Structure 1
Amino acid sequence: MKKVWIDAGHGGKDPGAVANGLKEKDIVLSVALEIKKRLEANYDGVYVLLSRSTDVFLALAERTSLANKAGADILVSIHGNAGGGSGGFETYRYINASAASTALQNGLHTAIVDMLNKVAVGVIDRGQKAKNLHMVRESNMPAVLTENLFLDVATDAAKLKKDVVIQAIIDGHVIGIAKYLSLKKKDAGDQKNNDNKVAVLVNGKKVADGVLDNGTTYTPARAVAEALGATVVYDAETKTVNITK
């Protein structure tokens, strides 16, 4: 089983880039949630873990610590960009990155640019870069940070407001990850088993997937509670879930 760690940048009190009616933290969270959904629904032998599944703040050290403790095989940190003049798409690896990280970056970058070029005109490819960024430096596994267009560049912002562009960004990540990990697609029968999944929203925002079983919908207590500002504690001995606020 391959473990993929998807890190949606920023969150909570840290909105990231804000411009042209867009917030980076919201865009990258929706992208991260859908990457998890599509990888697990369409490929065998993959489990996707998220730094955050709701609009919460996590320090950079918390993010990499969680990924390292989980023993993830790869880490992909998803961001939107700002301050880049003409805008565009770019990816980052660590300055002293391993060959594995470079290979992951190449596969992701190529797949995302290819998908963007299929649905949008004038996407600028700013290239594959190396930088001393925490998320790619402190991760024990191959790690890449993607910068998915510029919120403060009008032409890029207009693209990010189109669902077809967001879908291309999601699909590009999925294709790049699947290729790097040599994941095999599920057959049609296996994919049908995902038809009982139910999107769970809190105040209009998706937080996780639930399951529909014989007319009853089961929702993940932790994701829902945390989205409402509550704390969840699970007692393994008594098999009790305690939710407090």
Structure 2
Amino acid sequence: MFKVWIDAGHGGKDPGAVANGIQEKDIVLKVSLGIKNRLEEDYENVQVLLSRSTDVFLELKERTTKANAAGADILVSIHCNAGGGKGGFESFRYKSASENSIKLQDILHKAIMGKLGGIDRGKKAQNLHMVRESQMPAVLTENLFVDVVADADRLKQVSVIDVIIAGHVQGIAAYLGLVQKTKEDKPVLLRDINVLSKWAEVTWKEVTEKGYFDGSRPGSTVTREELGAVVSRLLKKIES
């Protein structure tokens, strides 16, 4: 059983980069939870452990200490960027990284850029705590810039978050040589339609506060009638 440690950067009192209506801590938590769900659902013999699964603050040392104690096979720290001019994606390893960390960065960077597209800021080496203090191959990813309008607009799209998740999953699976589950292997999970998924908390709160949805049954499918009601409410907002 492979152990993958996913570290959602920042959290709690530390929002990370903030701009254009985005807090880094929220984006990276969505991505981290998505990576865990997809890896464990789609691949055999893999367990994904998280530094945080909610909006809590953790010191850097706490994160790497837990990952090292768990005996994780790899660590990927998820971040968004700021202050980068034109924006884009980049990844980091430690300055004196092991061959395996370099290999993980190569595979992960290629997989994410292949899905995400846009500006490739390159594979970099830097003295960052998360990649320095981790005892396993470790890479930190910087997924677009919250203070670049074009990047921020992308980060607000569910489809782009999904692409970022997919790129990480593909890269991790390729590096570890994970085997995909067959349809017969995948459990049929019946979700409680009244329980809100963690990754959707911010968006669901926003659309309910604006009156597009009534706040009930967040996990249910939408009928054409219900979709019509949502469109009607949206049009009324636009016209008012």
State the TM bucket, normalised to the shorter chain.
Answer: 0.7 to 0.9
Residue type of the partner of 1:44?
A: E
The Cα shift of 1:205 comes to 2.8
Instruction: Render the CA deviation track for 1:178-234: whole Å, top value 9, x for unaligned.
Output: 00000000010112x14235585489739xxxxxxxxxxxxxxxxxxxxxxxxxxxx
The equivalent of 1:239 in structure 2 is none
The equivalent of 2:150 in structure 1 is 155
TM-score normalised by structure 2 residue count? 0.80
**Greater helix proportion:** 2
Task: Say what the alpha-carbon RMSD is for the aligned residues.
Answer: 1.6
The equivalent of 2:138 in structure 1 is 143
**Greater strand proportion:** 1
Change beyond 3 A, Cα 1:20–1:68: same
Q: 1:133 aligns with which of 128, 132, 137?
A: 128
Matches within 5 A, 1:147-226: 147-191=142-186, 193-197=187-191, 200-201=195-196, 205=201
Report the 3-state secondary structure (helix = DSSP H, G, I; strand = E; otherwise coil) of the residue aligned with 2:144: strand
TM-score normalised by structure 1 residue count? 0.79
Structure 2, unpaired ranges of 5+:
203-240
Identity of aligned residues (%): 65
The equivalent of 1:240 in structure 2 is none
Change beyond 3 A, Cα 1:100–1:202: closer
Q: How many residues were matched structurally?
A: 200
> Which has the higher Rg, Structure 1 or Structure 2?
2
Structure 1, unpaired ranges of 5+:
118-122, 207-245
- Provide the rounded CA distance (Å) in 2 between the counterparts of 1:40 and 1:20: 33
The equivalent of 1:74 in structure 2 is 74
Report the 3-state secondary structure (helix = DSSP H, G, I; strand = E; otherwise coil) of the residue aligned with 1:13: coil
Report the 3-state secondary structure (helix = DSSP H, G, I; strand = E; otherwise coil) of the residue aligned with 1:56: coil
